[in-house]
Every structure is written in C-alpha cells, then in structure tokens.
Structure 1
Amino acid sequence: MLFFVESTFTQQCDQPLKTARFDCHPEPFISPEKCLARRCCWNPLVSLTTQPPKNHSINSIEENVPWCYYPRDFPTYQIKTNESTDFGQRLTIVKQQSIYKPNEILNLTVDLLYETAQRFRLRIYDSTKKRFEVPLQVPVIKTKVNVTDYEVSISQVPFAILVKRKSTGVTLFDSSVSPLIYANQFIKFSSRLSSPFLYGLGEHRQPLLINITNEWRKLTFWTRDFPPVQHVNLYGVHPFHINVEMKNNSPTNFHGHFFLNSNAMDIDLQPLPAITYTTIGGIIALFLFTGPSAQDIIQQYWDVIGKPTMPPYWSLEIHQCIDNTSRFAGRSCSASK
C-alpha cells in the first residue's frame, strides 16, 4: 500500500474537484496496479476493503467519479512549429514519451481553419501517413476570414487550444482539461463545456435537454437495430451537440460542436462540465459553430453536411414494424394513413 501512495504523490495528482477527474481506465476490472501502470493517479473514493453502511447513499455526482485519472503532468504533446497559412494556422506537435496505448502516433499536424465568421474548424492528423477520413463533401475554404465571432489561443507546453466568444468571453472549446491521446486505433480528446446543458448527441433515447449538472454519462455511437432503451445507442450516429451558454443563471447564446468521424466512438459527459470524445480510428475533424441562436447553429451545421432531403408527401404515413423472428422467419410491417 505504501508503494501506491508514494507512486501517486510523485505525480501531480492534486485535484480538489472530483468533477475535474478524467478517466484513465474506463475499462472494467480496474485495480491500483493497472492504474499506476498507465502512469495515472489512483485515488478511490471509498476503501476497497470496507463496505459503506447500509443507510449510506452515494451522491449522484460521486457515483461515477473515476478512481483512476490523469495527472496534470501526464505525458502529452508540445508545439514544434507554428506557421501562418492562407486558411489560418498550421502547427506540428510532437510527443517525446509514449504511453500505454500501442502504436501511438508521436508526430501530428494541426490545422486551424478560420472558415467563416461563425465557423471554426480543427483538424489533427498523422504528419507522415494518410489516415481514413469520412468521404463527405464539406466546404473547402482556402482563405481565412478576417472578422470572426471567436478568438483562438494556443498553449505551447502542453499543447492545448482555447476558443472563446469575443463578445462575452465565454469558452467555446478548451482542450487543456485533459491530455490528447492519439494512437492508431485510439483517439481521445476533451473540452470544457460552457454549461451542463446540451441538446443533440443522437441517436439515443434520452430527454431533449441533456442536463449533466449532477450526472456523469457515457453515450456510445455505433449504429444498430435495437429497441429504444434509455441512453443506449440506436439506428443513427450524430456526434453533434448544441451547448447552452449561461450568464447569471440565464441562457444567453448557443454554440455547437460537430465531430466528423464515422468510427465507433464513446462520448463521455461529466459535471465539470466537460465532454470527452473517444474513437478507434480516423482523424480529429471538429467543427465549431458560434450561432449565436440555436436556429443559427442548425443552419451553420447544414452548411457543412448539407440540408436534409424533403420527404415525398406519400411517405408521410404511420409505419409500424414488428420483429416477429420468434414466431416467423421475417418481419411484418404495415402502413396506414
């Protein structure tokens, strides 16, 4: 036990806010040995050898607090070069020390694209090898816009990106809250949220307004034909959300994120508030929309992915389909006006 305590305190593990812990070991069957092998901090909320009293109720905020979390000095990237381009900025970032993920990519290129006054685009990809990208025709902007609603600042060591709304100073994106991990089949990055109130992140059965004030939530993105169950992934994948910006406990503006990646992924929400994207392939291609209204964000989102197709009048019927595989070798579907 003394070994665990000593190893923990040699790292920068002092984190007074439990909601600011970012999970270093989300897989099951965690142990102190597995956590410390990843150079992470081990700090359980309760003893492993004692059970809480029968009348003890765990606070909903603490129920999913990670016991194994990243230290503030976890190995990560730093900027090697920074040059201005016609579309914005291009950085190269390097990592001197590999971590627990196999086939880690230590040399990355970061493109900061100032595409429109209300749209900022972030691309992070392998500097030497071509990786799969979603074959979606998105707008190609070759020249940066001069006037924007947002301002971008960069941290040199460790590498991090901060995007704020110029008019209010509200944070729209802040990757400094957790280390960037970029391996061949594992990409993970996080951002602080402006408030714990979000819309989107489909397709899951969940309330229209996602409130993570007192809740940690994991949403899986992988399409499948499955009966609707609370917070379980369904037919579609839409890694897009709208975040409410609060001031004096009242909503003021809205902004949105769209993560253009078609690989299987998890999105973790925590009451800091913060969001973490984890995917098994592709690149980081993140669009940020500044709105400022929710309607504006939807329009800006459509400018990237295209507008939805208007359905024909004859298709506007009630379709019911019941899986009868337990009784018949197929499905029975009916439609009625």
Structure 2
Amino acid sequence: MINLYNAQIESLSIHRIGNKSRNEKIFLSEAPYQLNDELTALLKEYFFKPFREKEENYFQFTNEVDVEFNPLFKIVTEIFEQPETAHEKSKQITSLLYEQSQHPHIKGGEVYSTYLENVMIDNQKVAAIGIFKSELKSDFLQFEEKGSNLDIFLQQGVNLNKLDKGCLIFNIKKEEGYKILSIDSNRYDTKYWLEQFLGVEAFEDENFYTKKYMKFCQDFAKDVVRPAEDKKEEVMFMNRAVNHFAKNDEFEETAFLNEVIENPELIPEFKHYKTEKAPKYHIEDLTSFPIANTAVTAARKKIKNLISLDTNIQIKMDFINPESAEKFVEKGWDEEKQMYYYLVYFNKETT
C-alpha cells in the first residue's frame, strides 16, 4: 500500500512536447520550477489524486535482454543515486517521451518531472520519481472589469481535476526493476505510455498473484462449476474461495481445493482447467504464495453474489453468512409448469 499524504515535492521540472511525426517541437526548461506553498498543494492533489483512487496494480521496468538496457530505468537509477541531477535528467526523460510521440493520434502537452521524498510504500519511507503529462485542455472563462461592465474572455488551460497520464516510480525493489504505478486516462494508444515510453510489465508480487489466482477462480466458477452444478453453486464456490483467501496469510493449493471444492469430481476439472488456462493468468507453476489482504478486499467488492433469473427476479446470496444460502435456499423442478424454482425459507421479513 502507498501513502502520499506526507510526500514532499523536492524538485519540479516542467517541459513541453509536441507530436514528433507532425514536426511539432520540444521545449525544455533551463531551470527547475520554483514552487510556492499554494501551488505545491494544488499540484500534489493534481498529481497524486488518481493514484489514491485507483487500484494498486504495480509494474516494473523490463527489457528483452536485461533491465539495465531499459533507458528510463537507467535515468531513474541515476536520479535516485544523485537527486541533485533531477532537473538535467528530466530533460532526458522528456526527450525520451518525445521520441516515442510518433503515432499521429498522440497529443502534445506539458511534461512534469518530480523528485519526491517521504513517500510511504509497503510500510517503508522511500524516495520516488513522478512523471506526469497533461494533454487535453479545457475551456474556461475569465472576466475583467471594463468601465461599468464586465468583459468576458474565453481561454484554455489544464483541468486540475483530471491528470491525463502519470507514473510513480518508487525507490524500492531495484533488482526487480523498481515498483511502479501508472495511470492513463486517455487510452487512445495504450502502447505509447506503458510499452514504448516506460517499458514495463506487471510486477509479480503477492498482490499480483492473489488477484490473478482469484480471477482464475472466478472464471473457473463461471465456465466449469455453473454448467456442472448451477448458478447457486457458482456463487457459493466463489464465496468459499474468497473466504479461504480472507482467513489465510499463505495460499497452499491442496488445502484450498480440499476446503473450497465440495464436489470431489470437480477437483480434476480444476486441475485440467488450470493447465489449459494458466498462461493467461501467469499462474502456470503457482501452487503457494503469500496472500495480499488488500487484493482480497478489492476482489470481494467485484464478485457478484446475485442469482439473476429470466423472470426478472434476483436472489442475493449472503457472503458474510454463507450457511444461510446452504440451509435456506433450495432449487427444484416443477413438472406441471416445466420450470425450475428456488424455494426460500424464512421466519419473518426484515427491512
């Protein structure tokens, strides 16, 4: 988890780039920008807000040969080793981004390069580098008194409520390619920011493995459990899976299967499905790993616990007390109506 509340902007460099394929220019500022308290507060909110609101999916620098050959990894490492070079290195970062601005759809804009201190990640206080880009401009009105009337002017500027692109590179896990968070609000060319400029791939830690394995379980429930059993069992399987992750610190596949899969005939199906689908989830050889509680909480919010029927009726299953669904909901077949039914037992209606 990250905490940016006490993060300090030690250095800010602002440059501008255009689209290189359209022969638009690059402008590199000679000196870092001198911040005041009011602007610092506004920029911190502008830069950091998207990362507080976004689920933490970490990336790491990569390269086909070795991460040392990733140009941005090299520049970032030099800044972490010598923070006083942050402004000069920011010119290299901006030039690197400009070189990747070749696609005709890529918009020009301002590039902000920051050196940050007092950033909390995984309960450690570290330095970080923030690279942000504003692309889209918003119309706004300005007013000026002229005699006895107000005059109105239409101008354009950056909307501080929406950061177009940005990344935070934390000075942690250097050997793996650092831990990195990225946002891209304008995904007209997804390869431009993540692949061509940053050169990153997913950071494979406990958060990554927990999310991937739970997503794999969700698809298994939909593709295998539901056809073999019914919608109720699909929901209850995921309920048991989530609860298993929630109450354990370490994942061990055999214990998981024994606790979560009630129908023994589905265990071979699970193993076959994993062999077939594992590359999609990056869990080919994954049978044990530490469980990330934040990933479990996030996954629980996304998993639907509803049985939706074609008669426009929904039954909501209780993930907190799953024994209620097991005891008080039964499925059957009505020969006269030639329809399935759910029988629900209760003592009284509650609000």
Query: Do these two structures clear the TM 0.5 threshold for a shared fold by scoring above it?
Result: no
Normalising by the residue count of structure 2, what TM-score does the alignment of the two structures yield? 0.24
Normalization by structure 1: what TM-score?
0.25
Greater RCO, CA 8 A, separation 6+: 2
